[in-house]
Structure 1
Amino acid sequence: MLEAIYSFNNEMKELFRTVPKHASYTSPTIQKEILNHISNRVKRMICDEIDGGKFCLLVDEAHDESNREQMSIVLRFVNKDGVIMERFLGLVHVRDNTSQTLKNRIYFLFTHKNLDFKSIRGQGYDGASNMRGHFKGLQALISKDCPSAYYVYCFAHQLQLALMAASQGVIALQKFFTQLSFVINVVGASSKCSDQLRDAQAEQMTYFKSIGELETGRCLNQIGTLQRAVDTRSGSYLKLVSTLIKMFSSICEVLLKIIKDGTGSIRGDADSAYETITTFGFIFVLHLEKEIMEITDLLCQALQKQSQDILNALRIVASTKLLLKKMKDER
């Protein structure tokens, strides 16, 4: 990073040339200070880009690796050239996820960045009660201060929850996802199992490469892992199902090793998991779900585009319904 800085700035290059030889400026404290300065500079550029204009506020919550509650803030606005822009303003730590706490932290950030909350012309959140509540939700609290800040429930979030609710209403699919979760728990039960899975994939790739049946290209043939899906991200289910199909033989190999060499109850769990994923019903639903999710995922991705409008979104929904109907009729 330091080399990149002084390669584009002669003044900084001269400064680094004259510093004491023992001063490397790469200690953790200095690194964090440099990153903080860069972050503040980027935020100032975003605020300058808004230039006192109107903007929409997009907020979501998440936990970081240390299990601290974080709030992500994104601003959506039209720049001077008439182009719709979405800028990630930053992550803000919050003590809790109550609507009042979220509002206070947002206003605190706006104050420090010289952004007027009266300029908010839209709010986009998920459907949690602390966000969309009509009386004490975040959207209600901000609407009291700025009546023009209309709230829109995220369309992509609604679609993903609707897809999960629809799938859970089908007994075969509900059973499939329960079995899928069980398989993930068994295969990822320990670091040893994860290592065995990676080794099995590496051996499989070596074999296919030796017989000339391995497709080559960028981002291909990467050794992956099975990760849990999230209900509010349908794309994560598509990724999980696709990964399971790709790693199917490797997973079966790992389960057979656990059955043979494992100890305790893990052997019984591995045997049940192996018996489950090798049944016709599980494999059929696995491939069927992949085809369905590939169609619905296109809709989810389209609804999250910056330049999307409601009329085009309705047309995309209609075309997605036709594709699903065509798939059903052909079966």
Structure 2
Amino acid sequence: MAHGFLAINGNNQVLVSSETRNLHFVGKALLNRSVRSFDGYGGLRHWAYQIVCNVTPVPFFTMPVDGYYAVAAVRQVATGIWEIEIIRSGTSDYAPEVYVFSDPRGATGNGGTNYGMLVMRDDGTPSFDSRLNPLAVTGGAMVSPPANPLTSEPGWLTAKYCGSAPQNSLVPNAYNTFAIGDPGSKPIFFYPSIAQAEREWHYSQSERNCVGFDAYGKCIGFGTEYRWDSTYWAFFRGGIRYIGGYIRCGWIAAEFACNWSYSQEDSFIGIEYDDDSARGGTWPYSNETLNLTATAVIAANGARYD
């Protein structure tokens, strides 16, 4: 740039620039409701928080209990009101705290001081304001989960009407590990859940009844062929877990269901004369992994903003 303000650190990284808006503390989002929860498949807790902010907020979360966490959504639900969704694996109902940051246009009056340094963009709007609790980043990493959420298959499941309950054998257990350092006395993290994966398992079973006798694989008499098919599936989203200076990037089970079909075919001396069929359950997503591109984790010390 021909003019303006630029501050860099010893690693030549930009700390403050009049060309780029820095993040500043807006406040803590309030827990609004529980969106969904279940205990199988590794467990899911899905919460919605709300906060008032004039511009798009950037949420950071604490990790009060073990599990994988992620930001699932950020959306404006009314003028100046934003809803933030956080997901976490596990069965604890203990909800994380959500610290919200934005550029200086959304962080007004939180610094508690009337003096400091104000850096303006060339359009006259602020890019940095030391009075408004600017975000102090303590660490970061580019992370991605492994392509497959599961290190083993579920084993035998019944093909009849989705009659098995595989939730204990489909707990996501694969992760990649990345160094991030020590975020401080109260670690908070920003990580959006972009990676997605779906896995499904198809099982079939057939039976035949014959009133008469079998000859060369055919029923000479009245025969009935039965067939059952079930497709069990689970949908996973990326999440992170912090353990002693390292980030584990793995998976959170977000959805699961099963789709089944049944058919019956009646015949006489091999000639079909009647049939019946039925279908139920929920169709699966596509059996694939998406968005494995490395995603940024940003770490900070929440104690600075309490």
The TM-score normalised by the length of structure 1 is: 0.22
Name which one, 1 or 2, has greater alpha-carbon Rg: 2
Q: Hey, which of these two has a bigger chunk of strand by percent?
A: 2
Q: Hey, which of these two has a bigger chunk of helix by percent?
A: 1
Indicate the structure whose relative CO is greater, using CA pairs within 8 Å and at least 6 residues apart: 2
